[in-house]
Amino acid sequence: MDQFVQLILAGLATGAIYALAAIGFTLVWQTSQTINFAQGEFVMLPAILVLAAVKFLHAPLPVAVLMAVGGFLLLFGFGFKQYIVNPMARHGILPLAIATMALSILMKESAKDGFSAEAQQFPSLVPEGAIQLFGATLSLRDIAIFVVAVVAIVGLQLFVTRTKTGRMMQATAQNPTVARILGISTEKMILLTFLINAGLAILASFLISPVYLAKFSNGEVIGTAAFIAAIVGGFNQVRGALAGGFIVGLVDNLAAAYVSSAYRAAVPLVLLVLVILFKPEGLLGSKEERTV
């Protein structure tokens, strides 16, 4: 029983990371019909950038963090939209999705060849240690991950629902044509979602890397989890992505404990297929359209 509680709590921490990645994924999908197959690499890279700035430029850590954040927002918030999504968008979903696949290989290989093929330590703000809760041992880092991620998500939600800019962004996501008619500068709003996506990826990267180390291949697991979370929760809903993230995090951790390690990776996928077959709009999603 203690183990079960512990797994649940750890699952919530992992789930919070997945939720961050899945929310960004969903936002970008909503505003620009981009299926970003490089989403996992988006979470992998910021931590690597920090370490690279320390290693190659001998920058002190805070400076390195600033450089990594600025550089990443510029390249993968603004640059990604401007130079990959914009030119490809009018050719439909597929070529763009393929381009993001190529981008994911590019990011992964760059991290590997340009920095390191080995997993690297990443500094954490939170000390190692654990506390007892409901009879379960819980690491401080897991708690920190959960708290920071939830604060970020609540903040994002408040921004989207309570501020004028946030509401304009939401309108753009739901119906770009109507938003444009209402005089909203949809171009700016779409850019904003890409910047938010990049921001969430940076946050997820800094949260997860101290625990799992920074490695070029980290994106594979996180990316898949983010897709599954987004679909399980509902592809067109931010709160769906949030719920999906936690569900996948929990399933992931429980499967690790109760299913043979050889087939652990298949469990979230089975969940995914079941959702797709029986509730394709996602657990919290609304129907997009009807197939006749």
Partner 1 sequence: MTRHPVFSRIDANLATLLIGAVILWFAPAGLKSYGLYVISLWLVMSIAAMGLNLTLGYAGLKSLAQAAFLGIGAYTTALITAKGGIIGPGWSWPLAFVVSGAITFFAGVILGFPALRVKFHYLAFVTLSFATVMFLIFRNEQWLTGGVYGFSNIPRPSVMGSKLDNDLAFFRFVLVVTVLLSLAMWWMLRSPWGRAFTALRENPLRAASLGINLRAYTLLAFAIGSAYGGFAGALYAPLVEFIDPAPFAISASFVLLLTVVVGGQGYFLGPFLGAAFSYVLPEVLRATGGLYLLIYAALVLILLLITPQGIIGIVEKMRENRRQKAAQEQRNASKVMLEA
Total length of the chain = 292
Q: Which CB, 47 or 228, lies closer to partner 1?
A: 228
Question: Is 181 an interacting residue with respect to partner 1 (CB under 8 A)?
Answer: no
Nearer to partner 1, 101 or 171 (CB): 101
Q: Which is nearer to partner 1, 57 or 102 (CB)?
A: 102
Beta carbon nearer to partner 1, 27 or 148: 27
Q: Of 1-9, 69-77, 81-89, 171-179, which segment contacts partner 1 by CB under 8 A? A: 81-89
**Does position 190 bind partner 1 by CB under 8 A?**
no
**Binding string to partner 1 for residues 89 to 128, with x set by CB under 8 A, is what?**
--xxxxx-xxx-xxx-xx--xx-xx---------------
For partner 1, which is the closer residue by CB, 57 or 106? 106
Residue (of 49, 20, 50, 25) closest to 37 by Cα position: 25
* Residue 80 near partner 1 by CB under 8 A: no
Minimum CB separation from partner 1 for residue 266, in Å? 5
Burial classification of residue 126, based on how many CB atoms lie within 10 Å of its CB (0-12 exposed, 13-18 middle, 19 or more buried) = middle
147 touching partner 1, by CB under 8 A: no
Which of 125, 270, 286, 287 forms a contact with partner 1 (CB under 8 A)? Answer: 270
Q: Is 37 in the site for partner 1 (CB under 8 A)?
A: yes
Task: Decide if residue 235 touches partner 1 (CB under 8 A).
Answer: yes
Residue 85 binds to partner 1 (criterion: CB under 8 A): no
Q: Which residues bind partner 1 (CB under 8 A)?
A: 35, 37, 83-84, 87-88, 91-95, 97-99, 101-103, 105-106, 109-110, 112-113, 224, 227-228, 231, 235, 262-263, 265-266, 269-270, 272-273, 276-277, 280, 291-292
